[in-house]
C-alpha cells in the first residue's frame, strides 16, 4: 500500500461547499465580498466534536453552476470568496488538527474555460484545440456523458498533463493534504500515471483518491497509481442488503472488500453529495444504525457526509436540479440526537481501535436477516452482530470460537463484561470485544 502514514487515522467529514454556504443554487449568486467560504470555519469545531480528522471539500474553484463545470482551477469560485478565504480556512483547520481534501475535476471543463474559448474562436488549427477530445467525425468537441456544458479534455495532450500537475501542486503548496479526483473512471489510467508520480516526489504525504463507481478497483489503483478509490460496491451493498433483507449480498461485497484491502484501503461511505441520503435510502429508519456500524467497523478510510450524522433526509432525482435536495444550506448547528451520539461513539470506538483501518471481515453466522462477523487485523478483533429480523438473535460466543467477551456497544443493551451468551434484539445490533 502506498498511502501516506497519516491516512491510517483519517476520518473525513465531507461537505459540498457551494450548497453548504447557500451559494448554489441561489436566486442571486453571492459575490466575492461576501466571503462565504469562511462560514465553513464556523463548523470546524463540530467536525472535531464529531471525531473527524479532516474536511473533505467539494469543488471550490471558479465555475458557472454546480462546481463541476470548472472554468479556472487556479481561482476560488467568486461565489465562495477568494484566496485569502481559502488560506483562512486552511489556517483554522490546521489549528484544530484537521486536514483538507480538495475535489478536482480534470476529466472535463466548463464552457467558459479559457482554452476552450480559444479553441472555439481560433478553429481546429489553434494550439488550444488540442486540449479537447473530438467526437465522431471530429467536427465537434466531445462532452462528458452527453452534457453539452461539460467539455471533455484530451488526456493524450501533453499540455493537459502539465496543466493538471501544475494545478495539483499549486493547491498542495497552499495547504491541501490531498485530492479527490472527480470522474476518474472516465479518464484513462495512463493519464494519472503520468501526473501523480511527479507530484509525490514533491509532496510525498499527499493522498489521491479517484472517483470510481464500478469496474476492477484494484487494477485501476495499480494502473493509475491512486492511493484509493471510492467504494461504491460496499455503499450499495450496505443499504440494499438492509432494505431487501439479504445479508448474502453484503457478505459477498465484504469478501470483495477484503480482496481490495490486500492492495489499497478504499474510501468508504454510506452517503455523499451524489447519492440519496442514507436516512432516505433505507426503508426502515431503525436500520440507519446498522449502516453506520458497518461503515465504522470495516476496513477503509471512512467519510461522513455532512448532515448524515443528524439523519438528514434528501432524495437525489435524475433531473436538472436533482442534486439540490442532498446539498442543502447549513445554517444552524445540529441538535443533540441519537444519530449524532451514535456517530460520535462509533467514531470514538474506531479511534480506540486504529487497526480497523485495514481490518478484514469473516462471517461467523449468516442468514438473510441475521449476520455476525469478525472484523480484525493481526491479533486484534471485534465481533459484530447485526439483526434486521423481527425475532431476536441468540449469540453463543462458544459457538463462534470465543470463550467470553465484553459487549462494548449495542442497541437496547448496556455494556456487559465476561459474557458467554447474549441476545441481539429484533432490528438491533451488538459489538463484542472478545477476551
* Closest by CA position to 389, among listed 415, 410, 371: 371
Whether 78 and 106 map to the same domain: the answer is yes
Same domain assignment for residues 262 and 381: no
**Rounded to the nearest 5 degrees, what angle is found at the Cα of 234, between the Cα atoms of 400 and 210?**
135
**Is the domain of 272 the same as that of 369?**
no
Whether residue 273 lies inside any domain: the answer is yes
User: Does any domain span residue 156?
Assistant: yes
| β-pair partners for 304 | 13
Q: What is the pLDDT of residue 146?
A: 86
Eight-class DSSP state of 3: -
Q: Are residues 354 and 232 in the same domain?
A: yes
Q: What is the pLDDT of residue 2?
A: 79
Distance between CA atoms of residues 92 and 57, nearest Å: 15
Domain check: are 337 and 374 in the same one?
no
User: What pLDDT does 44 receive?
Assistant: 98
Instruction: Return the CATH number at 240.
Output: 3.20.20.80
Residue 378 makes CB contacts below 8 A (sequence gap 6+) with: 355
* Residue 47, in any domain of the structure: yes
Q: Does the residue 69 lie in any domain?
A: yes
The length of the chain is 435
Cα distance between residue 351 and residue 374, in whole Å = 18
- Say if 2 falls within a structural domain: no
The answer to whether position 402 is within a domain reads: yes
- Report the first-to-last Cα separation within the chain, whole angstroms: 30
Share of the chain residues as helix, strand and coil, in percent rounded to the nearest 5? 40, 25, 35
Residues 400 and 298 reside in one and the same domain: no
- Residue 1 located in a structural domain: no
Same domain, 419 and 286: no
Whether residues 72 and 104 share a domain: the answer is yes
| CATH number for the domain that contains residue 381 | 2.60.40.1180
> What phi, psi does 96 have (nearest 5°)?
-100, 5
Q: Identify the domain boundary among 323, 340, 358.
A: 358
Backbone angles phi, psi at 109, to 5 degrees: -135, 165
Give the domain-ending residue among 341, 358, 375: 358
Question: In the chain, how many domains are there?
Answer: 2
Residues 6+ apart with CB under 8 A from 292: 270, 342, 343, 346
Q: Distance (Å, rounded) from C-alpha 123 to C-alpha 129?
A: 7
Cell of 170: 499549486
Strand bridging mode 380-387 / 370-377: antiparallel
Per-residue pLDDT of the chain (435 residues; tens, 9 = 90+): 679 999 999 999 999 999 999 999 998 999 999 999 999 999 999 999 999 999 999 999 999 999 999 999 999 999 999 999 999 999 999 999 999 999 999 999 999 999 999 999 888 889 999 999 988 666 689 999 888 899 999 999 999 999 999 999 999 999 999 999 999 999 999 999 999 999 999 999 999 999 999 999 999 999 999 999 999 999 999 999 999 999 999 999 999 999 999 999 999 999 999 999 999 999 999 999 999 999 999 999 999 999 999 999 999 999 989 999 999 999 988 889 999 999 999 999 999 999 999 999 999 999 999 999 999 999 999 999 999 999 999 999 999 999 999 999 999 766 788 899 999 999 999 999 999
Q: Domain ends where: 339, 358, 377?
A: 358
Same domain assignment for residues 352 and 389: no
276, 370: one domain: no
What integer pLDDT is reported at residue 373 of this predicted model?
Answer: 98
Q: Which domain holds residue 380?
A: 362-434
Residue 351 lies in a domain: yes
The reply to whether 304 and 429 lie within a common domain is: no
Q: What is the pLDDT of residue 342?
A: 96
Same domain for 421 and 300: no
Give the pLDDT confidence score for residue 356 in this predicted structure.
Answer: 98
Amino acid at each position: 500500500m502506498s498511502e501516506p502514514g497519516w491516512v491510517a487515522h483519517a476520518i473525513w467529514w465531507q461537505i459540498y461547499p457551494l450548497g453548504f454556504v447557500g451559494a448554489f443554487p441561489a436566486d442571486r449568486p453571492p459575490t466575492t465580498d461576501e466571503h462565504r467560504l469562511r462560514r465553513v470555519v464556523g463548523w470546524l469545531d463540530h467536525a472535531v466534536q464529531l471525531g473527524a480528522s479532516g474536511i473533505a471539500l467539494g469543488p471550490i474553484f471558479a465555475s458557472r453552476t454546480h462546481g463541476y463545470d470548472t472554468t479556472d482551477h487556479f481561482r476560488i469560485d467568486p461565489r465562495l470568496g477568494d484566496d485569502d478565504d481559502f488560506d483562512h480556512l486552511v489556517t483554522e483547520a490546521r489549528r484544530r488538527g484537521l486536514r483538507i481534501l480538495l475535489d478536482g475535476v480534470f476529466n472535463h471543463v466548463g464552457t467558459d474555460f479559457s482554452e476552450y474559448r480559444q479553441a472555439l474562436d481560433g478553429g481546429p488549427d489553434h494550439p488550444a484545440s488540442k486540449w479537447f477530445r473530438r467526437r465522431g467525425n471530429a467536427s465537434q468537441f466531445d462532452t462528458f456523458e452527453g452534457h453539452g456544458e461539460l467539455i471533455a479534455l484530451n488526456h493524450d495532450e501533453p499540455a493537459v498533463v502539465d496543466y493538471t500537475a501544475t494545478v495539483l501542486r499549486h493547491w498542495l503548496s497552499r495547504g491541501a493534504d490531498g485530492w479527490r479526483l472527480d470522474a476518474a473512471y472516465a479518464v484513462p489510467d495512463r493519464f494519472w500515471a503520468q501526473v501523480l508520480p511527479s507530484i509525490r516526489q514533491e509532496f510525498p504525504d499527499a493522498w489521491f483518491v479517484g472517483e470510481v463507481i464500478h469496474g476492477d478497483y484494484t487494477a485501476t489503483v495499480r494502473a493509475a497509481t491512486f492511493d484509493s478509490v471510492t467504494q461504491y460496491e460496499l455503499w450499495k451493498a450496505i443499504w440494499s442488503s438492509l432494505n431487501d433483507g439479504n445479508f448474502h449480498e453484503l457478505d459477498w461485497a465484504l469478501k470483495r472488500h477484503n480482496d481490495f484491502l490486500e492492495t489499497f484501503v478504499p474510501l468508504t461511505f454510506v452517503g455523499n453529495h451524489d447519492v440519496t441520503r442514507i436516512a432516505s435510502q433505507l426503508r426502515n429508519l431503525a436500520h440507519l444504525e446498522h449502516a453506520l456500524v458497518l461503515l465504522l467497523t470495516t476496513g477503509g478510510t471512512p467519510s461522513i457526509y455532512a448532515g448524515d450524522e443528524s439523519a438528514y433526509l434528501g432524495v437525489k432525482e435524475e433531473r436538472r436540479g436533482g442534486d439540490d435536495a442532498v446539498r442543502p444550506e447549513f445554517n444552524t448547528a445540529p441538535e443533540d440526537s441519537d444519530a449524532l451520539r451514535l456517530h460520535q461513539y462509533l467514531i470514538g470506538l474506531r479511534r480506540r481501535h486504529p487497526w480497523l483501518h485495514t481490518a478484514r471481515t469473516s462471517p461467523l453466522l449468516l442468514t438473510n436477516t441475521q449476520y455476525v462477523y469478525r472484523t480484525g487485523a493481526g491479533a486484534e478483533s471485534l465481533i459484530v452482530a447485526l439483526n434486521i429480523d423481527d425475532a431476536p438473535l441468540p449469540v453463543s460466543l462458544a459457538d463462534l470460537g470465543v470463550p467470553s467477551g465484553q459487549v462494548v456497544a449495542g442497541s437496547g443493551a448496556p455494556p456487559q463484561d465476561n459474557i458467554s451468551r447474549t441476545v441481539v434484539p429484533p432490528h438491533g445490533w451488538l459489538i463484542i470485544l472478545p477476551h
